[in-house]
Amino acid sequence: MPDGDAVVFLGPVVGREGCYDLRAAMRDVDRPLVVAGRDLEGGFDWQRVVRASADPISDAALIVAPSWIGANPRPLLRALGRGVPVIASRACGLGALAGVTEIDAGDVAALQSSISSLSSPRSERPASARTSSGERP
Q: What is the pLDDT of residues 57-105, one digit of tens each?
A: 887 899 999 999 977 889 999 999 999 999 999 999 998 999 999 999 9
Query: Is pLDDT above 80 for 47?
Result: no
Give the range of the structural domain holding residue 61, as residue numbers without chain letter.
6-122
Q: How high is the pLDDT of residue 135?
A: 40
Q: In which band, very low, low, confident or very high, does the pLDDT at 35 lie, cut at 50, 70 and 90?
A: confident
Task: Flag whether 52 is in a domain.
Answer: yes
Element (H, E) at 19: helix 19-25
Q: How far apart are CA 27 and CA 44, in angstroms?
A: 15
CATH code for the domain in which residue 72 is found: 3.40.50.2000
Q: For the chain, how many structural domains are there in total? A: 1
pTM above 0.85, yes or no: no
Distance, in Å, from the CA atom of 65 to the CA atom of 23, rounded to the nearest integer, reads 12
* Residue 33 within any structural domain of the chain: yes
In a domain, 130, yes or no: no
pLDDT of residue 4: 74
Termini Cα distance of the chain: 23
